[in-house]
Chains A and B, each alone.
Chain A
Amino acid sequence: MNINTTKIISLLFFIFSAFYLYTAYQIQVFAFDENAPFNARTFPIYLGYAGLFFSGLKVVLPEPNTIKVDHKNLEYKKTVILIIIAIIYGATILKVGYFLTTSLFLFSSYYFLGERRWVLMFLLSFPFVAAFMYLLHGILDIYLRDPFLQSIGVMG
């Protein structure tokens, strides 16, 4: 049987809804609330059933317009690299600080997307982030913790 990707996504959503429903039934409510007309688990339980209903219908009903995605033409490599850069950004920002991490995040993103104009890449990363940081920290008064700038004495 040839099953299309939309049906697979719907099936995954069906399984997710079943898991959500199971978890909803596990929500601990106060003893006096157990038989109340509405408690903390009521709405999630309805949602779980709604998810099962709609995804179940999508799996069962015929698909009038099958969406075909040409995977050969998709740029997976660059997309995955950008996601990895974003994850590394998340992992380092608290330890290294906003300025250096964000500047490197931008610089490496330009590089991996194929840019090679080094001066422009530099200008649109380090000075750009510094200006943006000044806008947030200096003008809008949004505190940005930055151990790197603190260690070199730029930030108090």
Chain B
Amino acid sequence: MIEGILIGLTTALTLQNILMVMVGCFFGTIIGMLPGLGPMTAIALMIPITYGFDPATGLILMAGVYYGAVFGGSTSSILLNAPGVPGTVATSFDGYPMAQQGKAGKALAIAAWSSFAGGTLSAIYLLFMAPSLSKVSLSFRSPDYFALMILGLTAIAAFSSKGQFLKAMMMVVLGLMLASVGQDSLSDITRFTFSNMNLTDGISFVLVVMATFAMSEALTIILKRNDPTSAAKQVSLTELGSIKINKEERSKMYKTIPRSSIIGFLIGVLPGAGATIASFLAYGMERNVVNDEEKEKFGKGSVNGLSAPETANNAACSGSFVPMLTLGIPGSGTTAVMLGALLGFGVQPGPRLYMTNPEIFWSIIMSMYIGMVILLILNLPLIPYIARILAVPKNYLIPLILFFSVTGIYVMSFNNFDIYLMIGIAVVATFLRLYDFPMPPLILAFVLGGLMEENLRRSLLLSNGSWEFLWDRALTACILLITILIVIWHVYKTMFKKTNN
């Protein structure tokens, strides 16, 4: 492991990679601040640029964007009560009341320190857990992988669908259908191309991400007459107050941060869960463990209430890298985008990644530490200035997002068919978003489509076409049992809610 850490440090500490982390954190913070534009959009916009670098640098840039976006979301939660990303909703419960009491600077400082501590602690957990899990996952076979993918897709559908499980499952199927366009990987037979040569290689992953996130989010903002920057115009971003944290507040944070980081990390590791669930769970748990006097302060500007979700959402970000790096199966929409980008680089994440490409594996982990330090340096003194970027008018912001989307696609393929296809998918995605059809399950399914078919092919060929492979191995059966339990739990929850209504 020491050797790996040294490899990671050597790669991550090059001037270019440090610069990439800084650019990523800065860009991510700005995009994450804007309500409606989350880490997936930020990363999607960055993908075409990353293809100009080597895989390690590209992934370091994307990881920086991810952390930056999550922290940027916290800033708008605290200052504007307008969470940039769902994972920072819980931050606004106590962060915004604190800002209203004239302690915005202090709230931002608590959030920055908590994010830093949560991210750093979880990067340490990742450091120990990822290599061990990689060794364990070497024993996984095709049926286990197939079952794991079913579990990941079911879990993301259950957790991201806000009670609309069937809608999310429809999006999963749509994502898999889109992934099936093009040549079959084994026989080279073309499928669903309708004799169009442009579809022979399939639909580009970047195209689908840009269309369903960046472009459709921009169209949705226009369509719904939302102005992500309007709230910024109503508050003074220059008078944030002191950023000093006193001794009593520090002692509260010392207790909150370790427990919230563990919750955040473990929830982040689970497929489909992520920063949102982690932050709410940490907030709820913190409220239960503090004394009655402190409990009363929750929702009115509690230090514990702000520190817990902030620690957990950053810890969950690091946690979500575990299944991606060790199993090659992303646990969230954001890591699915990263996995797609890695595949684009020709790198296959999975249990062998840390043996075949140790510089990528370790440099991502090491860049997490560097990213946390940079975020802290960036956020504490610069936030009042960065927050002013929020005042960029919508009339400029939307065309610029569209510009990055179409340019991103054009520079990758140099044909206009991809631009038309992206516009078509973006229009459909915008319409589906209006009726609460979630997009993360579609992306995850699109990324996993090829791998899923490959593993199902191997499993069925090995078992002579029999579906017995699903329960032949205890591990496969266990994973499928968990999947079934998630579905049952979700159906029960929906029915129970209906009965209560």
Give A residues with C-beta under 8 Å from B: 5-6, 9-10, 13, 17, 20, 23-24, 27-30, 33, 36-44, 47, 50-51, 54-55, 57-58, 61, 64-65, 67, 69, 73-76, 78-79, 82-83, 86-87, 89-91, 93-94, 98, 102, 105-106, 109-110, 113-115, 120, 124, 132, 136, 140-142, 144-145
- Are the C-beta atoms of A83 and B219 separated by less than 8 Å? yes
- Are the C-beta atoms of B437 and A9 separated by less than 8 Å? yes
Which chain A positions have C-beta within 8 A of B437?
9
With A79-B219, A106-B399, A136-B411 already in contact, the answer to whether A69 and B187 are too (CB < 8 A) is: no
Residue count of chain B within 8 Å CB distance of chain A: 63
Write the chain B residue with the least CB distance to A142. Answer: B411
With A43-B456, A58-B167 already in contact, the answer to whether A37 and B461 are too (CB < 8 A) is: yes
- Within the complex, the shortest CB–CB distance from B135 to chain A, in Å, comes to 30
- Within the complex, the shortest CB–CB distance from B26 to chain A, in Å, comes to 16
The secondary structure that dominates the A interface is helix
Q: Report Cα–Cα, A20/B403, bound state, in Å.
A: 33
Contact partner of A58 (CB less than 8 A), chosen from B166, B393, B399, B463, is B166
- Are the C-beta atoms of A105 and B456 separated by less than 8 Å? no
- Are the C-beta atoms of B173 and A82 separated by less than 8 Å? no
Q: Report Cα–Cα, A10/B225, bound state, in Å.
A: 26
Q: Report Cα–Cα, A136/B383, bound state, in Å.
A: 29
Write the chain A residue with the least CB distance to B404. Answer: A132
- Are the C-beta atoms of B423 and A83 separated by less than 8 Å? yes
* Total CB contacts across the A-B interface at under 8 A: 163
- Are the C-beta atoms of B177 and A51 separated by less than 8 Å? yes
Q: Report Cα–Cα, A88/B435, bound state, in Å.
A: 28
With A30-B187, A67-B436, A109-B402 already in contact, the answer to whether A38 and B457 are too (CB < 8 A) is: yes
- Are the C-beta atoms of A47 and B222 separated by less than 8 Å? no
Q: Report Cα–Cα, A9/B435, bound state, in Å.
A: 9
Q: Report Cα–Cα, A105/B223, bound state, in Å.
A: 19
Contact partner of A87 (CB less than 8 A), chosen from B192, B420, B497, is B420
- Are the C-beta atoms of A82 and B222 separated by less than 8 Å? yes
With A37-B460, A73-B225, A75-B222 already in contact, the answer to whether A17 and B173 are too (CB < 8 A) is: yes
Q: B356-405: which residues lie under 8 A (CB-CB) from chain A?
A: 393-396, 398-400, 402-403
Write the chain A residue with the least CB distance to B420. Answer: A90
With A40-B187, A51-B173, A54-B170 already in contact, the answer to whether A74 and B224 are too (CB < 8 A) is: yes
Would you call B416 an interface residue if the criterion is a C-beta within 8 Å of the partner chain's C-beta atoms? yes
- Are the C-beta atoms of A109 and B399 separated by less than 8 Å? yes
- Are the C-beta atoms of B166 and A47 separated by less than 8 Å? no
Give B residues with C-beta under 8 Å from A: 49, 52, 163-164, 166-167, 169-170, 173-174, 176-177, 180, 184, 186-187, 189, 191-192, 219, 222-225, 393-396, 398-400, 402-403, 406-407, 410-411, 414-416, 419-420, 423, 427, 430, 432, 434-437, 452-453, 456-457, 460-461, 463-465, 494, 497-498, 501
Q: Report Cα–Cα, A33/B461, bound state, in Å.
A: 12
Contact partner of B419 (CB less than 8 A), chosen from A10, A89, A110, is A89
Contact partner of A110 (CB less than 8 A), chosen from B180, B184, B396, B410, is B396
- Within the complex, the shortest CB–CB distance from B394 to chain A, in Å, comes to 7
- Are the C-beta atoms of B435 and A61 separated by less than 8 Å? no
- Are the C-beta atoms of A47 and B177 separated by less than 8 Å? yes
List the 9 closest A-B pairs by CB distance, nearest first.
Answer: A37-B465, A109-B399, A90-B419, A140-B52, A40-B184, A115-B395, A113-B395, A40-B189, A90-B416
With A89-B406, A115-B395, A141-B52 already in contact, the answer to whether A44 and B191 are too (CB < 8 A) is: yes
Write the chain A residue with the least CB distance to B49. Answer: A140
Which chain A positions have C-beta within 8 A of B223?
74-76, 79
Write the chain A residue with the least CB distance to B192. Answer: A23
Q: Report Cα–Cα, A22/B414, bound state, in Å.
A: 33
Q: Report Cα–Cα, A1/B173, bound state, in Å.
A: 29
Contact partner of A86 (CB less than 8 A), chosen from B164, B173, B419, B461, is B419
Which chain B positions have C-beta within 8 A of A20?
177, 192
Given contacts A43-B452, A43-B456, A94-B416, 11 further A-B contacts (CB under 8 A): A13-B170, A24-B191, A37-B461, A38-B460, A44-B177, A47-B176, A89-B406, A90-B416, A94-B415, A105-B406, A109-B402
- Are the C-beta atoms of A39 and B187 separated by less than 8 Å? yes
